[in-house]
Amino acid sequence: MAYFTEHGIKTRASYDNKGNWLYNIRSYSEADLPKDIRARVKSVYYDYAITYVHEITNNQKLIYLVQLKYNKYWKTIRVCEEDDMEAIEEFEEN
């Protein structure tokens, strides 16, 4: 694993034992989320605030895990480059 920050975006890069790249995980705020992805999320979850984003890139896909909050309710939404978007985690604060 390699960890670094570039332009305020935290990145973790993973490699196998031979040094071949496996995947990256970039973590950032709503401001760095691509506008088209933000628009897709906000079109459904318009009352929720985007609190954090984890962008996962591997050889096959680019996936966004978008953390949302509305009052005491939290959700994590998985957004793929295609039209695929689904809630993968939901909970309420006590």
pLDDT band at 70 (very low <50, low <70, confident <90, very high): very high
- In the chain, the amino acid numbered 36 is D
Are 41 and 66 a contacting pair, CB within 8 Å? yes
CB 24 within 8 A of CB 49: no
- Decide if 12 is inside a domain: no
Q: For 35, phi and psi rounded to 5 degrees?
A: -60, -35
Residue 69 within any structural domain of the chain: yes
Judge whether residue 81 has pLDDT over 80. no
Identify the CATH number of the domain in which residue 75 sits: 3.10.450
pLDDT tens-digit map of 51-64: 999 999 998 889 99
pLDDT at 83 > cutoff 90 = no
> Is 16 part of a structural domain of the chain?
no
**Structure tokens of 77?**
């939404």
What pLDDT sits at residue 60?
84
Residue appearing with tokens 């929720």: 48
Provide the residue range defining the domain that includes 41.
23-92
- Determine the pLDDT at residue 84: 84
